[in-house]
A and B are shown apart, each in its own frame.
Chain A
């Protein structure tokens, strides 16, 4: 198994590196080319990089485990994200795409700074990205380290491999190499998950004599209750879904992906292909969690209790039962999901650092110096992520879990800014509203963390039985209502 994984991983890395190297022919000069591909990426590549950036190792590990333990509610959690995202990409996405090329936006923090005519907003948002997304990147590197560790290859080598692959595939041609390798990795992720599903349906379930009726019966009468009914608390469902339904507007790595399609037709293809990809991948991951729960429950033994205590072990345990080649391909698929998310985050956050911190603080920034700053920012961000992964800092994972909630206060100001982009400019005295909106949202999150701890900050009731994400959205929205009202006059 170990040798097979190394062989498949080397094949994956070599193929990805060839794809990255070939993408160099597309890149032109300047930071616009390096960070957003000169706004001329085709629909298929845009869709695949959007999908591979969005769907991290969480899908094949976290979502499978979440379904295994909590049942069908995990499907609602993931599908409401997809449904909300497609609607957001239809309603405000075209304006973001159009305004990005009209106003020359490169980073999402630059977009907010421009919409509100305030450098303070841009700097503040850049710092927020740094604080929330470096731990998230660390968690991706850590995920690859854990895969290496579970196969007996050494945790440190896994983290180092993820660091090298991420850095190399970014630095070869910026957005072009990231997008092309994301497309390659996205195909691998979906292909390997389909292969695992075929194995489960054709071999695993029949080996335990599980047909449709026994499958349904085993899930309905599971030790955790009826897994085909809604078993989560309303607070957990609200707390986990609300940060996700605004993900397309709050997470810079996906906001920046809206800038890159080369024309309207490519933008439309991006949304349609992403919707199809997301729908298939979600159904597959949820099905795998349910199928394996049914299999484990009907086979008996201690496995069910062990996996219920540590749901992240569900997929690795399931893969130990498959052919080693299939397991190796699936493990590389999970590795690809982690790397494709990490490289997009690092590229985007470094674009914010360069555009909203470096170029705003330096008196006369030039193209060459900005390029050096970009490479330095990428390497520094990745080194920070590498260091925290190597030190196995426990709270990195917890911080990455709440990073989506940390970015949630950006949703109201992004929607208000985009919707009001064609209206009258904001008066200077009102520029503090977006900053106050962010501060209120972050204060509510910090309060929830202090009261309930990091692990329950999103899902525990905070006020009137509602969890913190509801109050973050409400608080941040209320703070900018005067601004919205003034623009409507």
Chain B
């Protein structure tokens, strides 16, 4: 549970990486829609982690 919470927090921090110019330029040079895909990917992972944590918090009843 604790590791999942830490992982979720780390994912939220990753949302802020495109603030750094070198990263956003790198990702856009790889794909024009790279930042869009990056944030959408992080969101999907966050939702999956959130739902997993929720399942554990509620005692596995949601599985």
> Contact: A265 with B47, CB < 8 Å?
no
Cβ contact within 8 Å between B19 and A237: yes
Q: Is the CB of A267 within 8 A of B58?
A: yes
A94 touches B12 (CB 8 A): no
Which chain A residues (202-247) contact chain B, with CB distance < 8 Å? 216, 220, 226, 228-230, 234, 237-238, 241, 245
Asked if A89 contacts B50 (CB within 8 A), the reply is yes
Question: Inside 8 A of B28's CB, which chain A residues have their CB?
Answer: 226, 228-229
User: Contact between A86 and B51 (Cβ–Cβ < 8 Å)?
Assistant: yes
**A72 neighbours in B (Cβ, 8 Å):** 35-36, 39
Are A83 and B61 closer than 8 Å at their CB atoms?
no
**Residue A30, interface by CB 8 Å:** no
With A86-B50, A87-B53, A90-B54 already in contact, the answer to whether A79 and B8 are too (CB < 8 A) is no
A272 at the interface (CB under 8 A from B): yes
Of B28, B53, B61, the most chain A CB neighbours within 10 A belong to B53
Is A84 part of the contact surface with B, judged by Cβ < 8 Å?
yes
Bound CA span A220–B24, Å: 13
Q: Which residues in B have their C-beta under 8 angstroms from that of A151?
A: none
Cβ–Cβ < 8 Å partners of A89 in chain B: 50, 54
Query: Is B42 a contact partner of A83 (Cβ separation < 8 A)?
Result: yes
**B18 contacts which chain A residues (CB < 8 A)?**
73, 76, 230
The answer to whether B54 touches A265, judged by C-beta atoms less than 8 angstroms apart, is no
Whether B43 contacts A279 by the Cβ 8 Å rule is: yes
Q: How far is the CA of A321 from the CA of B8 in the complex (A)?
A: 42
Question: Within the complex, what minimum Cβ distance (angstroms) separates A437 from chain B?
Answer: 21
Contact B47 A86 (CB under 8 A): yes
Inter-chain contacts of B11 with A (CB < 8 A): 83, 87
Q: Are A230 and B33 in contact (CB under 8 A)?
A: no
Chain B positions 19 through 62: 1 when the CB is less than 8 Å from some CB of chain A, otherwise 0: 10100110010001101100110110011011111110111011
Contacts of A76 in B (CB 8 A): 15, 18, 35, 39
When distances are taken between beta carbons in the complex, the residues of chain B under 8 Å from A238 are 16, 19
Q: How many residues of A contact B (CB 8 A)?
A: 37
Interface of A is mostly: helix
Closest B residue to A286 using CB positions: B36
Contact of B24 among A75, A87, A230 (CB under 8 A): A230
Interface residues on B, range: 35 or more
Q: Which residue of chain B is the closest to A245 with respect to CB atoms?
A: B12
Q: Given A228-B35, A229-B35, A80 and B54 touching (CB < 8 A)?
A: no
Asked if A264 is at the interface (CB within 8 A of a chain B CB), the reply is yes
Instruction: Find out whether the CB atom of B43 lies under 8 angstroms from the CB atom of A264.
Output: no
Complex partner residue of A275 from B15, B21, B42, B50, CB under 8 angstroms: B50
**Do B24 and A229 touch (CB < 8 A)?**
yes
CB distance from B63 to the nearest CB of A (A): 10
Complex CA gap A245/B15 in Å reads 11
- Say yes or no: A79-B15 contact (C-beta < 8 A), given A91-B53, A93-B54, A275-B51: yes
A230-B19 contact, Cβ under 8 Å, with A86-B46, A264-B62, A279-B47: yes
Query: Which of chain A's residues have a CB closer than 8 A to the CB of B62?
Result: 264-265, 268
User: Is A91 touching B8 in the complex (CB atoms < 8 A)?
Assistant: yes
Chain A: minimal CB distance from B8 (Å):
4
How far, in angstroms, from A89 to B52 measured CA to CA in the complex? 11
Q: What's the nearest-Cβ distance from chain B to residue A308, in Å?
A: 21
In angstroms, how far is the closest chain A Cβ from the Cβ of B58?
Answer: 5
Is A407 located at the chain interface by the 8 A CB criterion?
no
Q: Is A271 an interface residue (CB 8 A)?
A: yes
Q: Is A52 an interface residue (CB 8 A)?
A: no
Contact call A271/B50, Cβ cutoff below 8 A: yes
Contacts of A95 in B (CB 8 A): 57
Q: Out of A86, A220, A241, which one reaches B32, CB within 8 Å?
A: A220
Within the assembled complex, what's the spacing in Å between the Cα atoms of A160 and B9? 44
With a cutoff of 8 Å between Cβ atoms, the chain A residues found around residue B39 in the complex are 72, 75-76, 79-80
A 75-119 binary contact with B (CB < 8 Å = 1; else 0): 110011011101101110111000000000000000000000000
Q: A86-B46, A94-B58, A265-B61 are in contact. Are A271 and B36 (CB under 8 A)?
A: no
CA A72 to CA B49, docked complex, whole Å:
24
Residues of B that sit less than 8 Å from A by CB:
5, 8-9, 11-12, 15-16, 18-19, 21, 24-25, 28, 32-33, 35-36, 39-40, 42-43, 46-47, 49-55, 57-59, 61-62
Known: A76-B35, A238-B16, A275-B51. 7 other contacts (CB 8 A): A82-B43, A83-B11, A87-B5, A89-B54, A90-B52, A93-B57, A228-B36
Interface pairs (24), CB distance under 8 Å: A75-B36, A75-B39, A75-B40, A80-B15, A82-B47, A83-B11, A86-B46, A86-B50, A87-B8, A87-B11, A87-B49, A89-B54, A91-B5, A91-B53, A94-B57, A230-B18, A230-B24, A234-B19, A238-B16, A265-B62, A268-B51, A268-B62, A275-B50, A283-B40
Closest 6 pairs (CB-CB, A-B): A83-B46, A86-B50, A90-B53, A90-B54, A268-B62, A94-B57
